[in-house]
Amino acid sequence: MKAIICTQYGPPEVLQLKEIEKPRPQDGEVLIKVHATTAHVGDTRIRGFRVPPAAWLFARLYLGIRKPKRPILGMELAGEIEAVGRDVTRLKTGDPVFGITGLEFGAYAQYRCLPEAGVVHKQGGVVIKPANVTYEEAAPIGAGGITALLVLRKAHIQRRQKVLIYGASGSVGTYSVQLAKHHFGAEVTGVCSTSNLDLVRSLGADTVIDYTKEDFTRAVERYDVVFDAVAKVSPAHAKKALEKKGVYLNVDTSTNNLKITIEDLALLGDLLATGELKAVIDRRYSMEQIVEAHHYVDQGHKKGNVVITVPHD
């Protein structure tokens, strides 16, 4: 099968398309024929080994000292079940699925084995893809959507509370605007650049702020929740916009110790099916264009998600 191999840490050019052996499902596993994955910012950070200084040693030990010891990147995927191992009962051959790969990565390949049940955030997991959603639309929900859901859930948002999403046009941001508005029932303010104001409004934001023209902390409005979905504002500065007992969330620090369950993925599937949640796709690339895709994500200006289509002869 074809797979994209990260041969060493460095720029996008370290990614190479190669032929490797096709995996076989073990007991309790399913073999997924991958149709779509993403160029996630997490993949680009691992590829370039861009990690916070405090996490440097742990990251080197886990990811690899000199080069990635898990050379096939890719955190989220959508595809169909091609084969199942023994003791698999929830899924069957032919089922369309989407999900995440966990801490072992591996979605940058034509095939990926994942456990049917287990600790999703560590081992990965998949659920049934809604029939009215394409593989390309379903693939990005696995990481960006689940991050938005679980981080916002930490704030215990009540209906009509005021929630500000900074970085509202990114992957986590676009899901956060939709979830805060439609799932949690909040009054949502989205902060983004001039070119993305209409996009964020279309996702349900009640108010939009152009960060190139206005500092949201200097406005009269104060918020019950401020979520920095791109980790680009200092916590001290962002907290100036909070109500006295408001909650500050950050996509980097608030994701620590998140526990992802199959039920969480299934909930996102239900929201996709009803149209309450949708993926914003900025660009699509083929596997052969993975270097170009990573270069684009590295620029830091993508709108929503960058999808990688996975061909099968």
Mean confidence (pLDDT) of the chain? 95
**From start to end of the chain, where are the E strands?**
2-6, 15-19, 29-38, 76-84, 96-100, 111-115, 125-128, 162-166, 187-192, 207-210, 223-228, 242-250, 281-286, 305-309
**Which domains, from first to last, does the chain contain?**
2-142+280-309 (3.90.180.10), 145-250 (3.40.50.720)
In whole angstroms, how far apart are CA 212 and each of 7, 53, 192, 193, 242?
A: 38, 29, 8, 6, 21
pTM, full prediction: 0.94
pLDDT in tens, 227-261: 999 999 999 999 999 999 999 999 999 988 889 89
Burial class (CB in 10 A: 0-12, 13-18, 19+), 223: buried
Identity of the residue numbered 232: K
Residue 151: band (very low, low, confident or very high) from pLDDT cuts 50, 70, 90: very high
Residue 175: band (very low, low, confident or very high) from pLDDT cuts 50, 70, 90: very high
pLDDT in tens, 258-274: 898 999 999 999 999 99
CA 16 to CA 4: how far, in whole Å? 5
* pLDDT above 90 (res 92): yes
Q: Which residues of 152-190 are buried (b: 16+ CB within 10 A; e: fewer)?
A: beebebeeebbbbbbbbbbbbbbbbbbbbbbbbebbbbb
Non-local (6+) Cβ contacts of 20 within 8 A are 1, 2, 3, 5, 109
Identity of the residue numbered 149: L
- For 67-70, which contacts have Cβ atoms below 8 Å and span 24 or more sequence positions? 67/6, 67/7, 67/8, 67/9, 68/6, 68/8, 68/9, 70/104, 70/105, 70/106
**Would you report the helix, strand and coil content of the chain in percent, each value rounded to 5?**
35, 25, 40
Q: Which residues pair with 26 in a beta bridge?
A: none
* pLDDT above 80 (res 119): no
pLDDT in tens, 48-67: 999 888 888 998 999 999 99
